């Protein structure tokens, strides 16, 4: 995996509404499509690194604990429909994504292909690093994590970069 230069500031930082307006000017049919905004967890530096990996085309997937959707009272995204505004660690909008696959499965059923799309690593390395993160997520909502715990494997494509990047 290559080294990523983390962008600390953007000459014209955009918020979610501003990037969405840019996007629908170029894609007017998306105007009434559901969209949400989020950043990768693990702190602002991790969110910076992961968002820049997305922008660089090095990250095309993510995985989360399935129980978080119910805990946060959210529905899972609909593939090829919903849009996601991705923030960096400073809550600046860096891209708009669209999920192309959303699959719920036990943790130990996540594929090598998904692991590579998410982290550019082997499945065994992915399992080691993600087991710890998912255990923390489960503990935070009062659940116990095992290899059979349901996770949601999300594969996405980047559909828009703001004109300020």
Average pLDDT for consecutive 10-residue bins of the chain (165 residues)? 41 82 94 90 90 96 96 92 93 95 98 97 96 95 97 97 72
Q: In this predicted structure, what is the pLDDT of residue 86?
A: 96
| Dihedral of alpha carbons 47, 49, 54, 58, sign | negative
Whose CA is closest to 151, among 41, 64, 62? 64
Q: What is the dihedral of CA 94, 99, 104, 106, to 10 degrees?
A: -50
What letter would DSSP give residue 149? S
Q: Helices marked H in the chain — which ranges?
A: 16-26, 44-55, 67-71, 112-119, 123-140
Report the predicted TM-score, pTM, of the whole model to 2 decimal places.
0.86
- Using an 8 Å Cβ cutoff, are 103 and 117 in contact? no
Domains and CATH numbers, the chain: 34-160 (3.10.400.10)
What pLDDT score was predicted for residue 135? 96
d(C-alpha 115, C-alpha 105), whole Å: 14
């Amino acid at each position: 995996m290559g080294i990523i230069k983390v962008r600390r500031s953007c000459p014209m930082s955009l918020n979610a509404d501003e990037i969405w307006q840019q996007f629908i000017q170029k894609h007017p049919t998306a105007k009434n499509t559901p969209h949400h905004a989020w950043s990768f967890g693990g702190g602002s530096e991790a969110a910076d690194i992961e968002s820049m990996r997305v922008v660089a085309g090095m990250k095309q997937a993510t995985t989360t604990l399935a129980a978080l959707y119910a805990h946060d009272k959210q529905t899972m995204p609909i593939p090829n429909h919903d849009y996601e505004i991705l923030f960096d660690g400073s809550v600046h909008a860096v891209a708009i994504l669209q999920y192309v696959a959303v699959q719920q499965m036990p943790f130990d059923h996540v594929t090598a292909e998904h692991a590579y799309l998410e982290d550019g690593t082997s499945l065994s390395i992915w399992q080691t690093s993600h087991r710890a993160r998912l255990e923390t997520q489960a503990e935070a909502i009062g659940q116990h994590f095992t290899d059979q715990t349901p996770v949601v494997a999300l594969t996405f494509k980047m559909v828009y970069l703001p004109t300020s990047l």
